[in-house]
Amino acid sequence: MYEIPLEDGPVRFAGALDLERRPGGGLLPRRLPAWTRQQYPDAFMDYVAAMPSGVRLAFRTAARTLEVDLLTTVRHFDKAARPAPAGVLDLLVDGRLAAQQPAPTGRVLRLAHARAEGREVPGEPGTVRFTELPEGMKEVELWLPQQTPCELLALRADAALCPPVPSGRRRWVHHGSSISHCTQADHPTGTWPAVAASLVALDVVNLGLAGNCMLDPYVARTIRDLPADLISLELGGNPVLKGTFKLRTFTPAVHGFLDTVREGHPDTPLLVVSPIICPRVEDTVPGAAPTPPPENGAEEPGDPGEIGLGPLTMPLVRDALKSIVRQRRRDDPHLHYLDGRALFGPADAADMPDGVHPSAKGYLTIAERFAERVTGAEGAFGG
């Protein structure tokens, strides 16, 4: 077996925007550039950026056996009976799924809740082995589990590795919430952005950040500076679920995010996708406090003049995004809007067991509809 260098060698880390050198000598792929880390609001954002949804090691080889040593970090919430599953690694050969192996459980991060500071329980690295690969030279992609940070320690093969041949595919940069991160997918190439990219031959960079699609300026600057032939933004769900904006602040924040992206991509096809159906909060305001009585001389609660100061709802967010895109399209014909319910709507709610996140089957539905509606001749990415 040959030891293959993970840095400055033949391996391309597709979908990763940073490779953090860890104290033990491993490399931790991250989906945001290193400079953004000083602007993260909490440890949860840091953890999510290290979850390698869409990250894969790409190379060309005649090898028939591959081994990778890795140290995972799984979460274990205090009220849960056991840690979250580490997920699986997918091996693609010439674009087709050839094998899968479970990721080993390494470190365990104990948490009281998602945004709490974790208590780390040390763990050991594990080795994942793939054998009986097809004979001859082939393009290989090793996809990391979308829900589990993976520190890569070593890569071995029974033949030399070469850099991958450029695919010539258009590069699609996608940003969104947990709906795009897809931790509930069965495997890493089963996330809907990965499936959609495969269906229509795109090279995807998945910036779906579970619980953290908050119109953060550092994400907008990241997208601005990335090479991209196509860009899509699934927006609005997290601000509603987390109560982080009012309509008054949400609208200019969306404009500012789009302004920043357009600084680097003035003419790139840019699609804004509003939230998919969310039965748990579709007609309610999550965690909304009772409306206080009006002070002397104030407008009555619910007065149209005060709508912008009230809590966001899913219908309000969809209307706001549609209006923003309609307004901006007067000067930006390459900007498009898609109601997320066209990808996953009320009729699909049976494939959303928790009322917020689609099941693995539901993600396939989104992928197929995205490929059909968005990349077709009349779609935002058509042509």
Q: Is residue 156 located within the same domain as residue 179? A: no
Pairing of strands 270-273, 96-102: unpaired
Q: Which of 129, 162, 195 is the last residue of a domain?
A: 162
Instruction: Give, for all 383 residues of the chain, the pLDDT tens digit.
Output: 999 999 999 999 999 999 999 988 899 999 999 999 999 999 999 999 999 999 999 999 999 999 999 999 999 988 888 888 999 999 999 999 999 999 999 999 998 887 888 888 999 999 999 999 999 999 999 999 999 999 999 999 999 999 999 999 999 999 999 999 999 999 999 999 999 999 999 999 999 999 999 999 999 999 999 999 999 999 999 999 999 999 999 999 999 999 999 999 999 999 999 999 999 989 777 755 444 444 433 344 444 445 566 789 999 999 999 999 999 999 999 999 999 999 999 999 999 999 999 999 999 999 999 999 999 888 999 86
- With respect to residue 295, please indicate whether it lies within any of the assigned structural domains: no
What's the pLDDT score for residue 299?
40
Where residue 208 falls (left for φ over 0; alpha for ψ -120 to 50; beta otherwise) is beta
Q: 3-state secondary structure string, 253-298?
A: HHHHHHHHHHHHCCCCCEEEECCCCCCCCCCCCCCCCCCCCCCCCC
Q: Is residue 157 located within the same domain as residue 179? A: no
- With respect to residue 317, please indicate whether it lies within any of the assigned structural domains: yes
Q: How far apart are CA 300 and CA 63, in angstroms?
A: 72
Q: Which of 162, 180, 198 is the last residue of a domain?
A: 162
Q: Which of 107, 137, 162 is the last residue of a domain?
A: 162
What's the pLDDT score for residue 164?
97
Q: Is residue 342 located within the same domain as residue 219? A: yes
What's the pLDDT score for residue 287?
57
- With respect to residue 381, please indicate whether it lies within any of the assigned structural domains: no
Q: Is residue 178 located within the same domain as residue 133? A: no
Q: Is residue 190 located within the same domain as residue 215? A: yes
**CATH classification at residue 228:** 3.40.50.1110
What's the pLDDT score for residue 192?
98
Q: Is residue 151 located within the same domain as residue 177? A: no
- With respect to residue 383, please indicate whether it lies within any of the assigned structural domains: no
Q: Is residue 137 located within the same domain as residue 176? A: no
What's the pLDDT score for residue 293?
42
What's the pLDDT score for residue 379?
93
Q: Is residue 32 located within the same domain as residue 151? A: yes
Q: Is residue 231 located within the same domain as residue 252? A: yes
Q: Is residue 238 located within the same domain as residue 135? A: no
- With respect to residue 382, please indicate whether it lies within any of the assigned structural domains: no
- With respect to residue 291, please indicate whether it lies within any of the assigned structural domains: no
Q: Is residue 335 located within the same domain as residue 262? A: yes
DSSP 8-state code for residue 246: B
Query: What count of other Cβ atoms lies within 10 Å of the Cβ of residue 93?
Result: 16
Residue located via tokens 């500012």: 256
Q: Are 242 and 217 in contact (CB under 8 A)?
A: no
**CATH classification at residue 115:** 2.60.120.260
What's the pLDDT score for residue 222?
98
Q: Domain count of the chain? A: 2
What's the pLDDT score for residue 383?
63
- From start to end of 144-211, where are the E strands? 150-157, 161-162, 170-176, 202-208
- With respect to residue 365, please indicate whether it lies within any of the assigned structural domains: yes
101, β-bridge pairs = 89
List the domain range (segments joined by +) for residue 67: 2-162
Q: How far apart are CA 338 and CA 320, in angstroms?
A: 12
Q: How many CA atoms lie within 13 A of 167 on its CB side?
A: 20
Q: Is residue 359 located within the same domain as residue 256? A: yes
